[in-house]
Amino acid sequence: AKQGLQVAIDGPASAGKSTVAKIVAQRFHYIYCDTGAMYRAITWKALQAGADLDDEATIKQLLDQITIRFEPGTPTQKVFVDETEVTLAIRQPDVTNSVSQVSALPAIRAELTARQRQIADAGGIVMDGRDIGSTVLPHAEVKIFMVASVEERAQRRLKDNAAKGITTPLATLKHEIEERDRKDSTRKVSPLTQAADAVRLDTTSLSIEQVADRIAEIIKEKEMQQK
């Protein structure tokens, strides 16, 4: 039988998906998979290779040549492209501001979707991204669509960036978040959308603990129903 549920968490940039997904995964002893990191990793590779970010065939070739791996680590898990650790590199502004262009390429989405399904296949997984509940895991037992106001999300990103030594001003961050949300929501292949059966969770005035508790309740309910 399947060990544990599939939990899909989607939503716009900086809504709190990965922070909360990690906590929830720990509580249930589930695996955590950050699909955004996978899109960031291929974007990093494309930038390194000096590829034209619209050149789908070239970027697909690059993706076919690399493995993207996660390793446990504190405070965040580590991300590797082959043997190179890219945990910090994939959070830099150059990657952040190019990732939506690369993630719009259908061949890249098809390949990463296949890899993500493989990771989630055994169950016992919390996976976060933009299209997990709608496309990657349409049969996930738990689907959360996490949102927060753009003002709040920009403030959160400002704080995160400060800890990484990135000094982009608040107004710029707000603009970048809106721009990335717009691109992610309007692309042709699996855009950011709330699945019909997803629970919408507005985290604007909630603490991390409150959001994690709410999702944990939903998972517990589902687990009970499965038994």
By CB under 6 A, the residues from 151 to 180 that bind ligand CDP are 156, 159-160, 180
By CB under 6 A, the residues from 92 to 111 that bind ligand CDP are 99-100, 103
Q: How far is the CB of 36 from ligand CDP (least distance, A)?
A: 2
Give the residue, chosen from 5, 8, 19, 158, that forms a contact with ligand CDP under the rule CB under 6 A.
19
Give the residue, chosen from 6, 8, 32, 40, that forms a contact with ligand CDP under the rule CB under 6 A.
40
* Annotated binding-site residue? 19: yes
Instruction: Assess 131 for contact with ligand CDP (CB under 6 A).
Output: yes
Instruction: Assess 14 for contact with ligand CDP (CB under 6 A).
Output: yes
Could you tell me how many residues of this chain bind ligand CDP (CB under 6 A)?
29
Q: How far is the CB of 1 from ligand CDP (least distance, A)?
A: 27
Contact 104, 187 (CB under 8 A): yes
* Annotated binding-site residue? 123: no
Instruction: Assess 65 for contact with ligand CDP (CB under 6 A).
Output: no
* Annotated binding-site residue? 17: yes
Instruction: Assess 35 for contact with ligand CDP (CB under 6 A).
Output: yes
Report the 3 state secondary structure along the chain: CCCCCEEEEECCCCCCHHHHHHHHHHHHCCEEEEHHHHHHHHHHHHHHCCCCCCCHHHHHHHHHHCCEEEECCCCCCEEEECCEECCCHHHCHHHHCCHHHHHCCHHHHHHHHHHHHHHHCCCCEEEEECCHHHHHCCCCCEEEEEECCHHHHHHHHHHHHHHHCCCCCHHHHHHHHHHHHHHHHHCCCCCCCCCCCCEEEECCCCCHHHHHHHHHHHHHHHHHHHC
Instruction: Using CB under 6 A, list all residues that contact ligand CDP.
Output: 11, 13-19, 35-36, 39-40, 99-100, 103, 129-132, 156, 159-160, 180, 184, 203, 206-208, 211
Q: Which residues are annotated as a binding site?
A: 11-19
Q: Which residues are annotated as a binding site for ATP?
A: 11-19
